[in-house]
Amino acid sequence: DVRAYLVSRFTGKENKRLNRWKTNELIGKLIGRDKEFCLMGDKLVPLLMVPHADETRKEYYIGDSVVNTFFKLLKKRSDRFPKAYINHYSFDSQIATSLIQGSRSEHEVLAWFKAEKLRGAHKLFLPLCLSTHWVLFYVNTKEKKISWLDSNPSSRIMSNNVEQHKILLWFTTFLLPEFGYNDANEWPFVVRTDIPVQKNWVDCGVFVMKYGDCLTHGDFFPFTQNDMVHFRRRIFLDIYRGRLYGKIRQV
């Protein structure tokens, strides 16, 4: 049950660990048991905070290092337990930044990837940040569908058309044909509306991470805005341990 996994209670040991970190000064410390996934404490501080409307967005903002690390942990989990989670590949958010800003050409970005890393992946994830707002670009290679997951309904109708077009063009014209999907320019592109939505202006990064988490199980999202504080703390523990929480399930 994905919902049970998502909102599973913290153990006594986990609560003690969270309480200890909340009372300690994280800034200036390197946090994480696994050297590959260590982050500086100031990047993790927002995960231990409870957002309130009367405080600034910056205090709660989750940066690219946290989002990218979480998606790496998703990949690590699926690689370790290939029968339990859907085979996928996650791109670093810097890919989107390079394409949107034009700091690298489409061919230069394509050259960063080796065929063996993507071949056979059922799902492709690209978290991207547009003016401090996180969204998820998602490709389902098995069903030949491309989706845009935005947790803020109002921003779905804003002028992100240029950014969408640049990312979509790179995938359908450069990346996917490189790996044998020559009809990718015919795949439908959908801005998803059947997803949980945020009720504030600060939890978009958490929504994007949990969209990705749920998509490694299937294609449903059994959570709401009310789960965000729990998710922030769970993600903190995941990064601290260098692995994602949860019992292995067959899907």
Side chain identity, residue 139: V
Which run of H or of E encompasses 90? strand 88-90
Asked if residue 187 lies in contact with residue 146, where contact means CB atoms within 8 angstroms, the answer is: yes
189 in helix, strand or coil? Answer: strand
- Comparing 15-29, 115-129, 154-168, which segment has the lowest mean pLDDT? 154-168
Q: Using one digit for the tens of pLDDT, what is the confidence trace for 141-167? A: 999 999 999 999 888 766 578 899 999
Section 54-60 average pLDDT: 80
Asked if residue 202 lies in contact with residue 61, where contact means CB atoms within 8 angstroms, the answer is: yes
104 in helix, strand or coil? Answer: coil
Q: Using one digit for the tens of pLDDT, what is the confidence trace for 184-193? A: 999 999 999 9
Task: Give me the CATH topology for the region 2-241.
Answer: Adenoviral Proteinase; Chain (3.40.395)
Judge whether residue 249 has pLDDT over 70: no
The pLDDT value recorded for residue 250 is 40
Judge whether residue 247 has pLDDT over 60: no
pTM of the model: 0.94
The pLDDT value recorded for residue 162 is 87
The gap from C-alpha 144 to its chain's centroid, in whole angstroms, comes to 21
Start-to-end CA distance of the chain, whole Å, equals 10
